[in-house]
A and B are shown apart, each in its own frame.
Chain A
Amino acid sequence: MTRRFLGLIKALVLLACLIPLLHLLARANGLGDLGANPVQEILHTLGKTSLNLILITLIITPLRKETGLIWLVGLRRTLGLLCFCYVVFHALTYIALDQGFAWNSLFVDVTQRPYITLGFISLLLMVPLALTSTNSAQRRLGRRWAKLHRLIYLAAILGVLHFLLQAKIDISDPIFYSIVLLLLLGYRINTWLKSRQAIKNRGNS
Chain B
Amino acid sequence: MLIKRPQDIKASEITPESTFRQRRMLLKTALAMGLIKTADLSAQEDLIPLNQKESGNREEPFPENGRLNNLKPWPSNVSSEPTSFEDVTGYNNYYEFGTSKTDPASNAHTLETHPWTVTVEGEAEKTGTFALEDIIKGHTLEERIYRFRCVEAWSMVVPWVGFPLGDLLKRFEPTSQAKYVQFFTLNDSDQMPGVRYPVLRWPYREGLTIEEAMHPLTLLTVGLYGQVLPNQNGAPLRLIVPWKYGFKSIKSIVRIRFMDEQPQTSWNMANAREYGFYSNVNPDKSHPRWSQATERVLGGNIFSARVPTMLFNGYAEEVASLYTNLNLMTNY
Residues of chain A having any CB pair with chain B under 8 Å = 28, 34-40, 42, 97-100, 105, 108-109, 113-115, 165-166, 168-170, 172
Contact = CB atoms under 8 A, between A and B. Distances in A.
A10 B200 CA distance: 45
Contacts, number: 57
B138 interface: no
B87 interface: yes
B327 interface: no
Contacts of B154: 37, 40
Interface string B275-318: 00000000000000111011010111111111000000000000
B199 A169 contact: yes
A78 to B, nearest CB: 28
B100 to A, nearest CB: 9
A105 B200 CA distance: 31
Contacts of B306: 98-100
Given A38-B300, A172-B197, 6 more contacts: A34-B302, A36-B101, A99-B306, A113-B289, A169-B270, A170-B99
B49 interface: no
Nearest to B100: A170
B152 interface: yes
B104 to A, nearest CB: 12
Contacts of B91: 35-37
A183 to B, nearest CB: 24
- Interface residue tally on B, bucketed by range: 20 to 34
A170 B305 CA distance: 28
B298 A36 contact: yes
B102 interface: yes
Interface of B: 83, 86-87, 90-91, 95, 99, 101-102, 152, 154, 156, 197, 199-200, 270-271, 289-291, 293-294, 296, 298-306
A37 B293 contact: no
Contacts of B197: 172
A9 B199 CA distance: 42
Contacts of B300: 38
Contacts of B301: 38
Contacts of A172: 197
Contacts of B200: 169
Nearest to A109: B291
A36 B90 contact: yes
A100 B291 contact: no
A105 B91 CA distance: 27
Nearest to A166: B289
Closest 8 A/B residue pairs (Cβ): A36-B91, A36-B87, A170-B99, A36-B298, A38-B302, A100-B305, A170-B199, A97-B302
A38 B156 CA distance: 14
A70 to B, nearest CB: 41
Contacts of B90: 35-36
A170 B291 CA distance: 20
Contacts of B86: 36
Contacts of A109: 291
Contacts of A36: 83, 86-87, 90-91, 101, 156, 298-299
Contact of A97 (B102, B271, B303): B303
A38 B300 CA distance: 8
9 contacts: A35-B90, A36-B91, A37-B91, A39-B304, A40-B154, A98-B296, A108-B291, A168-B152, A169-B99
A137 B18 CA distance: 62
Nearest to A165: B289
A197 B28 CA distance: 84
Nearest to A35: B91
Contacts of B290: 113
A172 B306 CA distance: 29
B80 to A, nearest CB: 15
B302 A39 contact: yes
Nearest to B90: A36
Nearest to B95: A170
Question: Which of B91, B197, B289, B291 has the most chain A CB within a 10 Å cutoff?
Answer: B289
